[in-house]
Amino acid sequence: MTEPDGATEPERAVPESRGVSRRGLLGLLGAGAAGAAAGFAGGAATAGVALTAGTHGGGSAGASVFPFYGAHQAGITTPAQDRLHFAVFDPDAGLDREGLIGLLTDWTAAAARLSQGLEVAEGGAVGGSDYAPPADTGEALGLPASGLTITFGFGPELFETADGGDPFGLAARRPSELVALPRFQGDALEPARTGGALCIQACADDPQVAVHAIRNLSRIAFGRATLRWSQLGFGRTSSTSTAQTTPRNLFGFKDGTANIKAEEPGVADEHVWVQPGDEPAWLADGSYLVARRIRMVIENWDRVQLGEQEQLVGRSKGEGAPLSGGTEFTEPDFEASGATGTPLIDPASHVRLAHPTMNGGARLLRRGYNFVDGNDALGRLDAGLFFLSFQRSPEQFVRVQTSLAADGLNEYLKHVGSAIFAVPGGVAEGEFVGQRLFD
């Protein structure tokens, strides 16, 4: 995936041209299927960035298959899939360095298979012994890979436990920037949705496929690590490819118009990927992931007049154009003013405060999802944005979030969960994810 000149290409989708699915592979399990899987995994990609429009068998969307192995982990610059299951784990008491390496090795093997549309292990849900639990939980049998990517990250607590312990001998290798995020204006963090030692981001175009991945990886961790918190997202709120349309968040506005796109490899190197000269060396080609559960008070927002909604955001609601004029992708002009001399884009608007020019050039690769988790006791939907961003340094996020302290939108949202992870670089065949951390 890395060109000789160091430029990085976005992950590419392999059209599932042979109609391979978990069902199709049921009859093939064994050497043949292993060969087919290696064929996919080994970089058989030949097409350009493909969205998940491929269908096969008439009706089943999401036939894309993304390579698991590569210079970077998939699921970052990969064109954002439609659905998310995100899970955070804590190591169980008694897990030691070898145990952790074992877990990461098992997770890697499973993720490599799952992302190719295979069952989690040979033997699968129906191919093993009648007298053993099935290797795979089975609910994705017959479903295509659906663009599944599985991305792993390491939280601060992997390097130092809450009581100052270092069970994995990793304290000296901790990235100096991998610390809990500072408290921001308006934070109302719930401990049950905050922090954690290990994370797995599963994105797919079929939620059943994403859920299946997290469930099976959780199961593999049994006795070694325990799920601490998790979050489903039903709709992507950002594009990470110029080939994707910009989706809408639950404020009803297009979100992520100015996001970093896979088609800008130079930009990704500058803003997303930890570079070879950066510290620590083991994190090169990786990134930092920030996760924030942002509850939106949508019932109140829905009573705000259109003009004020647009003023708070700084863009029009329909087109998503900056209020300084043009269309969605026109660069906002923060100097433009109307007939009365008032700036067309309010100085306290979200688009201005989040803009790189206000944040020392900081840009984020956003990859968040809308969520609705039922409702609260007052009959308000428990809805909002599960914000995910990848950046070369956590400082980028801190700058933007600090700037947003003045954001008028804060009246309509509340950050209730927060976590940060170091996302190691990609995996080569025969390695486990994050292996360089342990070298």
Binding residues for a second copy restricted to 354-393, rule: CB under 8 A: 370, 372-375, 377-381, 383
Q: Is 245 in the site for a second copy (CB under 8 A)?
A: yes
Within 64-183, residue ranges assigned H as helices are: 97-114
Stretches 2-10, 48-56, 93-101, 326-334: which one binds a second copy (CB under 8 A)? 48-56
Interface residues for a second copy in 265-294 (CB under 8 A)?
none
Contact status, residue 378 vs residue 297, Cβ threshold 8 Å:
no
Q: Per CB under 8 A, does 231 bind a second copy?
A: yes
Smallest gap from residue 380 Cβ to a second copy (A): 7
Task: Determine the distance from the C-alpha atom of residue 337 to the mean position of all C-alpha atoms in its chain, rounded to a whole number.
Answer: 38
Cα gap 288→154, rounded to integer Å: 9
| CB 187 to a second copy: min, Å | 20
**Which 134-153 positions form the footprint of a second copy (CB under 8 A)?**
134, 136-142
Q: Mask 177-216, x = binds a second copy (CB under 8 A)? A: ---------------x-------------xxx--x--xx-
Which one of residues 4, 31, 46, 129 is an interface residue with a second copy (CB under 8 A)? 129
- Binding of a second copy at residue 253 (CB under 8 A)? yes
315 binds a second copy (CB under 8 A): no
Choice between 309 and 389, CB closer to a second copy = 309
> For residues 64 and 401, which CB has a smaller minimum distance to a second copy in the complex?
64
- C-alpha of 317 from chain center: 26
Distance of CA 138 to the CA centre of its chain: 24
Rounded to whole angstroms, the Cα distance separating 67 from 149 reads 8
Cα within 13 Å of Cα(194), Cβ side: 15
CB of 315 to a second copy, least distance (A): 11
Tokens of 405: 């302290």
Taking the least distance from each CB to a second copy, the nearer of 221 and 272 is: 221
* 182 DSSP β-pair partners: none
Considering only residues 289-308, where is the footprint of a second copy by CB under 8 A?
A: 298-299, 302-307
Which of 145, 139, 114, 112 lies closest to 125 in space, CA to CA? 139
Structure tokens at 71: 């210079």
58 contributes a contact to a second copy by CB under 8 A: yes
Rg (CA), the chain: 22
In 346-437 the beta strands, taken as DSSP E runs, fall at 365-366, 369-375, 381-391, 413-423
